[in-house]
Amino acid sequence: MIDLLIKGIGVGLAVAAPVGPIGLLCIKRTLADGRASGLASGLGAASADAVYGFMVAAGLAATGILISYAEPMKLFGGAMIALLGLLSLRAFLKGAGSVAKPAEAKAANGLIPAFATTFALTISNPMTILAFVALVAGLGASAASSPGAAYILVLGVFLGSTFWWLFLVTAASMARSRITPSATRWLDLISGLVLLIWGIWIAWGAL
C-alpha cells in the first residue's frame, strides 16, 4: 500500500509540475489576490487530478469514455482559458486609475470561484486525460487486485499534485512583496496574452 501511495504521489507531481495555463493562472492569482487565492486555485487543480486518478484506477479509461469526450472538453477548456485571458487584459487596460480592493478582501470573496475555475479547466484539459491514461493505467490494473488500493492511489495523486501547487504558491507568495503594482499590471498584460492565445489554440484544435 505504501508503495502504491508513493507511486501515486509521483504521478500527481509529474502531471501537475509542467507550467501551463493552470500554473500561470495560479501564480497570477497569488501575486494579485494573495496566498489563499493561489492555494484555492491549486487545490482545484489537485482535486481534478484526483478525479482523473480515480477514473483511470477504476478502469474507465479502458472503455474509451474519457477519450471519446476529449474534443468537446477541449473546446470548453480552450474557451474558458481564452475568457480568463480577456479578463486579465481588461484588468491591464483599466490601468493604475482603478481603485483595487485589498488582496485579503478579494481573496476572501473569491476562494470558491478560484477553486471552481481551475477545477473546471483541469478537468476539461484533454492533455490531462492523456497524461493520466499513460501514467496511471498500469497502476490502475494493479490497484484493482486489492480492495481499497485504488483509493490509496487516488490519495497519492491528490497529495502529489497538492505538494506541487503548495510549492508554487509559496514561491510566488515570497516574490510578491518584491513586485511593484506597476509590475503586477504588466503581468496582467503578459499573462492575459498568453492565456488568450493558448485558449484560442486549444479551442481551434477541437474545431
Q: What is the pLDDT of residues 10-39, one digit of tens each?
A: 877 877 776 677 888 888 888 878 888 889
- Answer for the pair 143, 149: CB distance below 8 angstroms, yes or no: yes
Q: What share of the chain is helix, strand, coil (3-state, %, to 5)?
A: 85, 0, 15
Per-domain boundaries in the chain: 2-206
The end-to-end CA distance of the chain, in Å, is 43
- Helix axis angle, 35-57 to 103-123, nearest 10°: 20
pLDDT by residue for the chain (207 residues), tens digit each?
Answer: 677 788 778 877 877 776 677 888 888 888 878 888 889 999 998 888 888 777 766 665 554 666 666 677 777 777 877 887 887 788 777 764 443 444 444 444 578 888 988 888 887 776 666 666 666 555 555 555 566 676 787 788 889 889 998 998 888 888 877 766 666 677 778 777 887 887 788 778 767
